[in-house]
Each structure stands twice: as structure tokens, then as C-alpha cells.
Homo-oligomer: A and B are copies of this chain.
Amino acid sequence: MNAPRHLILADGDFGPMTSKTANSIIRYQPDRVVAVLDRQLSGKTVQDVLGFGGDTPVVASMAEGLALGANSVLVGIAPQGGRLPEAWREWLREALEAGCGVVSGLHTFLADDPLLAKAAREHGGTIVDIRRPPADLPVASGLAKQVDALVVLTVGTDCNVGKMTAQLQLVDKLNASGVKTRFVPTGQTGMMIEGWGIAVDAVVADFIAGAAERITVQGAEGADVVLVEGQGSINHPGYSGVTLGLLHGSCPDAMILCHQASREYIGDYRNASWLKIPPLSQYVKWYEEFGSAVHPTKVIGIAMNTYDLGEAAARKACDDAARETGLPCTDPVRFDPAPLIGAIAKAHASKRMG
């Protein structure tokens, strides 16, 4: 297959904090993106909207995207619950009938839609439902405790605070420093970028930890360090089960706590006082206590997402977090990731020494 040239569907939701999948594909595989479809923002460039991504255009219709040479439509938003907006179905049919493939991370499997399946079959396109789980997942049994590699899991104060981005920033740096490091994708975006993994939020609930265990063990083969992509938050009222299953299935030796500095409330539930984000030190205590119920683990550093702050405020957020928790803290996207690289290298040396 030729390299995909994606039109990214993000209609009505393209933006720095709303279209997480779209944005990560644009950040890490910009050469594969020909346009973004969002009627509200058409005429702008991706750079205008996100602050990165260059002059890739935002278009208003499937026809424009096809005219720009797209051979693939990537569903680039993850609405709450992950279901397909009804209006998009017609666009996807249009694309499939033009011979495009479709890549989707929605919970609703597009290949199971008779209309779309028929269009794919008749026009030779492929529908890839990234979130469709393997059929033979195990119940976890602690296998990930036994890997030789250092297992590092990102954990968060909320969904969508930058867990995956923090890790993708660290992987190359760790490899460049001689530590053989592998990223283990547990969500649709990481899987689209890396080409493997399991979306642990889409498996049958009894198999969350089993899925995490399987890909952690797989990623650890021949690696010094595996960075397991974190999901959700331990106090998120909707997604905490996925977070704990991932924590207990992957058996991390070390965790990196991720936070967005300006975030005050668990994101999907704004204005609910009971969902005010507690202090970082509370999360450190929670994750260490919850994780250690199955495998001894420590938070070794803080990854701070400061994308929406000025330089001084961003520096201050990192300094404050380091002071509060006594842990190294940086924004690995914006500033030098060395404090986190150092913390991981130290934990790796310590595990190797036994």
C-alpha cells in the first residue's frame, strides 16, 4: 500500500483541546495529512487553528479533500462515548465510493455499518476500526511483573492532559541516549501513529488488565524501557475503571504524572465542584497506593502541559509542581525534557541493579 494521504474528519470540533487524535497525527505524521475537514473553520490553515502544523488547509467538504489528493479519511475526533455522528456517515460513503480507505478510532465500528461496508467492498477501500479488540484476550495474571525492561506508565489528573504526547517526546530522546525504549500504545491515536497496540478502553471490561498485560509484555521484548501509554484518570467518574485496569495490568515499576497546568476541573464535567482537581501530591499518593496493591510502584516525575500559558507562567507551573511533590517536573514538549529523561534513566539503572 502507498503511504496514506489523510483527509482528517474533525467537523465542528477542530481545535487545540478538542480534536486530540487529529492533532497528534498532524504533530507526528504531518507528511501524511493533506487537509482537515471542519466546516466552521474552512479557509484557515492548521497552523492558524493549532499553533503548529503549517499551511495544511482546513476544508468544508469531502469533495475538496478528495480534490487535494486524499486517499484515506481518518476520523480525527473522539466524541464522548466515541460514537459516529450520523451526518458523517454520508461523507464517509462519499469517500469510500471515491476509492478511499477509512481509519477510525470510534467505539462504533464503521466496518459493521452495512452502507459503509458495501461501499468499501464495491470500490476496493479498506475500513480499519482501530478500536476493535483482538478476540482472544486473557484475564490478567500479573505476567507484566516479570519483564526485564523498566515499565513506565503515564498517569494523569484527567483525560486529555498530554500523556501520550509527553511519552512520544521522550522515546526518541531516550533511544538517542542509548536506552533502548519502546512506546506501547493503549489508545486509538497512539495506535494510528505506531501501527500496533490495543485500545484498552474498547475491550470488554473483564479484559482491560489482560489487554494491558499482553501489550506490555510484547513491547518489553528486547527493550530496556517501555513507556506504556496511560488513559483517563483514577478519579474520573466515567473512565476510572480503564485507568485502574491499565495500572494493574501493565504493572509499572515507575509512573510519570501528567497534568495540564491551567486545568481546574475534570474536563468533561466542568462547573461541578465535586470534580475539582485535587493537588498533585494527592494524585501521587493515590497512584502509588492503588498501583502498589498489585505491584510496587512510584511516581518518578511530573510532565506538565503548559501549551496555553506564557513562558513565565509555564516555568512557574513546573517549579511549583516540583516543589509541591519533591519530584522532577518539566513540560517535555515545550522545555528541555532532561529532568524526566534523567528520572527514567535512574529508575532503569536501579531496576537493572535489582
Contacts and interface: CB of A to CB of B under 8 A. Distances in A.
Contact of A238 (B202, B206, B237, B243): B206
Name the residue in A137, A236, A240 with the highest tally of chain B Cβ atoms < 10 Å from its Cβ: A240
Contacts of A145: 274
A239 B201 contact: no
Interface stretch (A257-265, A288-296, A325-333, A345-353): A288-296
B139 A238 contact: yes
A208 interface: yes
Interface in A239-260: 239-246, 248-249
A210 interface: yes
Interface in A65-82: 80-82
A102 interface: no
* Copies of this chain assembled into the complex: 2
A142 B241 contact: no
Contacts of A236: 248
A335 interface: no
Interface of A: 80-82, 107, 137-142, 145, 200-210, 234-246, 248-249, 268-269, 272, 274-275, 286, 289-290, 293-295
Contacts of A246: 241
B294 A235 contact: yes
Nearest to A202: B204
Contacts of A141: 237-238, 268-269
A286 B295 CA distance: 15
B244 A241 contact: yes
A209 to B, nearest CB: 5
A186 to B, nearest CB: 11
A140 B246 CA distance: 19
A145 B269 CA distance: 14
A152 B143 CA distance: 34
B238 A140 contact: yes
Given A81-B138, A139-B81, A294 B237 contact: yes
A210 B210 CA distance: 21
Nearest to A295: B274
A107 B243 CA distance: 22
Contacts of A290: 234, 290
A142 B272 contact: yes
Contact of A245 (B205, B210, B272, B275): B205
A97 to B, nearest CB: 27
Nearest to A292: B235
Contact of A242 (B82, B138, B241, B268): B241
Given A200-B205, A205-B204, A244 B240 contact: yes
Contacts of A80: 139
A241 B294 contact: no
Nearest to A206: B201
A234 B289 CA distance: 11
